[in-house]
Amino acid sequence: MSGFNMDEMMKSFGQMKMPDMSAFAEAQKRNMEALAHANRVALEGAQAIAKRNMEILQQSVADMTEAAQRMASGEASPQAKAAQQAEVMKTAYERAVANMKEIADLIQKSNGEAVGVLNKRFAEAMEEVKLLVKTPG
């Protein structure tokens, strides 16, 4: 068995390529910029979703008010009022389903864009790491 050889260990360390710290710092800077960009994209998406939710809510209140006014006016028979009420409910249900799908699509698009920013940076970072640790020769 051979013993521990300090000279050989020091020689091995001397031959190792040390990573370029300025390149490492630049890579970290690009990572932080990508993260900030992804956060901005996510925030913009959340704001768009909140705005659309408010528009949907306002439209729903207006629709309900109009439907209530139509139901209260006129001398329609109970059967006619029931049919009218069923039509209002059907329309409200269909609109609610369409609105939920629209909001889900907005969320998916926003999340996809934010994740896309991060995935792109991750792929770039992997290439940078390969270049940083590449040994000469």
Domain ranges across the chain: 34-131
The pLDDT value recorded for residue 5 is 77
pLDDT for the residue 98: 95
Output the pLDDT for position 16: 60
Q: What is the DSSP letter of 16?
A: S
- At residue 116, the pLDDT reads 95
Averages of pLDDT over runs of 10 residues in the chain (137 residues) are: 69 64 85 95 95 94 87 79 88 93 95 95 88 65
Report which of 23, 58, 32 is spatially closest to residue 133, judged by C-alpha positions: 23
This prediction's pTM: 0.68
Let me know: does 51 contact 102? Beta carbons within 8 Å: no
Contacts 24+ apart (CB under 8 A), 73-77: none
